[in-house]
Structure 1
Amino acid sequence: MSGTRRRYLGGVGGASALLLGAGCIGRDGPGIPDGNGDGGDGDGNDGGDGGQTGTRPGGTGGPGVTVVSVDGPDDIPVAASVEVVREAATEESPPRLRTSLENTGDESITVGEGRGVHLEYVSDDSEALVFLPSDGEYPAEPGCWRLTDGIAVTEEYRTFQIDAGASSGREIDLYATPGEDACLPVGEYRFETAVSVGEPGTDPERSGRWSLTVLLE
C-alpha cells in the first residue's frame, strides 16, 4: 500500500563544492584504456590482466564506489543496509547501489517519505554527488555521468507499507551534479536522509535519520 500528498515543485542539482579529481570514462591514465585499443597503462602494456584494465573489468572506467558505513536510524523499528550493484561506471550506466529498509518490529508499518528514505534525489553533504532512481533517464554526459542540467522533482510526501520482518529495496544510480569540472570526483562522501514510520493507514509519526558514507577511488 502506498500514498501520496503533493506539495510543490523543487529541484536537484545546482552549485556544488570543489571536486577533487576526474572520473570520466575514456580519459587516459593508469588502468584506463589509452586510446590504442589495448586497455593498457598508457605505454602499450596490457599488464597481463586477462582483459581487464588495471583493477577494473574491461569497459569500465572512472573511480569505483565502496560502502564505508551505514549508520542509523535509531529509535524506530527500521534497519537500513546498502550493497554495491555496479562498482564502476560504464559507457552505458553510472555506478549503482541498492538500498534496503527492513521492518524489525512485530507489526506492519507505514514509511515515508517514500523516495527520500531510499536516498532517491538525495545529495551528499557537499552537494557534489546525487543519487537518482535507476529506472529513470536524466540529462547526463554518457560515460562521465555528470548531470548537464538540474532535475525537477515534485516534492510529494509518498508513503508505503512494510510488513513485519519484510524489507523494501530500491536501486539508485550515482551522478555528479551540474556545473563541475570533474565527472565523478574521488573522495569520501556522506549522504543523510530522514525516515518516518507509523501504523498502517496513518501518516508516519515517529522519525529518525540514517546515513550512508561512500568512497570513490
Structure 2
Amino acid sequence: MVSTRRRYLRGVGVGSALLVGSAGCLGRDPQNGDGPNGDGLNGDGSGGDGANGTRPEGTGGPGVTIVSVDGLDDFPVSPAVEVVREAATESAPPRLRTVLENTSDETVTVGEGRAVHLEYVSDDSGDLVFLPAEGEFPAEPGCWRLTDTVATTQEYRTIDIDAGGSSERLIDLYATPGEDACLPVGEYRFETTVSIGRPDSEAGPSGTWSLTILLE
C-alpha cells in the first residue's frame, strides 16, 4: 500500500528535483531488434556488435554490473538489487530492480516511497540518475542522456510492507543533461535514506543504504 502526503521531499538525492548535467560519451551500434530481457519485458536482442565489440548483439553498451549493496544493518528492512536489462539498447536504457524486504514480524511503513527504491536519486558525482521504469522522460534514444531537467512532485510518499513481505520497483538508468553526455563508463555510487513511520506520526528510526555499480 502506498500513501502520500504533500510536503517537501526528504532524503539523499530527492530534495533536488532538478537534475544537472555531466560530460562524457559512448559509442553505440545503431542497429537493433526485439528479444527477451529475462524479466518478461521486451528489449533489443539483435543487430551489431555493440560498443567496441564488447557488448551483446543489439546493445549500445555499456553494461551494468552491481559492485555492492550496503547499509541498513540491524534495520527492519533489507535492500537488494538485481540487473534486469544489463546494457542500453536503441529502444531502452539499462534497467534494475530494487527490493526492500521486511525482515521484522510486523508491518512497517517506510518513506520516502520513491527515494527508498532509488527513484529520482543521482549518483555521488551527479552524472547518472535512476528514474521509474514506467515513466516517459526526455532522453536521446540509444544514448539515454536526458535532454531536459526532470522535476518531481513535492510530496512525501510512504509504503506499507507486510511482515515477511517485500516492496519492489523497476528503475532505469539515465545520464543527466549535459553536452556529449551519454552513459559514461566508470564506477558510480548511489545513496538514499529510508525512514520508518508515517510523516504525520512520531518519527521512527532512519538509515541509509547505497548501491555501487560499474558501467563498462
Q: TM-score, normalised by structure 1?
A: 0.82
Among the aligned pairs, what percent are the same residue? Answer: 69
For 2:177 and 2:202, the matched residues in 1 are separated by 35
Preserved CA contact (<8 Å) 2:190 2:212: yes
Letter in 2 for 1:155: Q
Output the amino acid matched with 1:143: G
Contact 2:49 2:58 in 1 (8 A): no
Task: Give unmatched runs, 5+ long, in structure 1.
Answer: 28-37, 43-52
| Per-residue CA distance 1:74-130 (angstroms, 9 max, x = gap) | 342111000000000011100000000000111110110000000000000000000
Q: Name the counterpart of 2:28.
A: 25
Match of 2:3 in 1: 3
Question: What corresponds to 1:14 in structure 2?
Answer: 20
Tell me, yes or no, if the aligned pair for 2:49 and 2:56 is still in contact at 8 Å: no
Pairwise CA RMSD: 2.6
- Give the 3 Å change call, closer, same or farther, for CA 88–41 of structure 1 in structure 2: closer
Distance 1:15 1:7 in 2: 26
How many residue pairs are counted as aligned between the two chains? 195
In the alignment, the residues of structure 1 paired with residue 50 and residue 67 of structure 2 have an alpha-carbon distance, to the nearest angstrom, of 28
Q: 1:41 to 1:125 in 2, by over 3 A?
A: closer
**Partner-residue secondary structure (3-state), 2:154:** strand
Question: Which of 48, 51, 57 is residue 39 of structure 1 equivalent to?
Answer: 48
Cα displacement (A) at 1:203: 6.0
Matched, 1:171 2:180: no
- Correspondence list, 1:112-123, <5 A: 112-123=111-122
Match of 2:205 in 1: 206
Higher Rg: 1
Show the counterpart of 1:182. 181
Query: Counterparts of 2:173 and 2:87 in 1: how far apart (Å)?
Result: 10
Q: For residues 1-217 of structure 1, what are the structure 2 equivalents within 5 Å? A: 1-7=1-7, 11-16=17-22, 19=23, 21-26=24-29, 39=48, 54-198=53-197, 202=201, 205-217=204-216
- 8 Å Cα contact 2:8/2:156 also seen in 1: no
CA offsets 1:44-72 (integer angstroms, 9 cap, x no match): xxxxxxxxx83433211121010000001
Q: Which has the higher strand share?
A: 1
Conserved? CA contact 2:29–2:59, under 8 Å: no
Rate the CA distance shift 1:41–1:111 in 2: closer, same or farther, 3 A: closer
In structure 2, how many angstroms separate the alpha carbons of the residues matched to 1:162 and 1:41?
40
Deviations 1:125-169 (A, max 9, x none): 000000000000000001100000000111310001001111100
Which has the larger displacement, 103-112 or 7-16?
Answer: 7-16
Return closer, same or farther for 1:2/1:163 CA change in 2, 3 Å cut-off.
Answer: same
Q: Distance in 1 between matches of 2:64 and 2:186?
A: 10
Q: Which runs of 5+ in 2 are unaligned?
A: 10-15, 31-46
> Using the alignment, how far apart are the partners of 2:156 and 2:105 within structure 1?
25
CA distance in 2 between counterparts of 1:186 and 1:173 reads 16
CA–CA distance in 2 between the matches of 1:77 and 1:164? Answer: 10
Letter in 2 for 1:180: E
Amino acid at match of 1:102: E
Q: Which runs of 4+ in 1 moved over 2 A?
A: 7-12, 21-27, 38-42, 53-57, 201-204
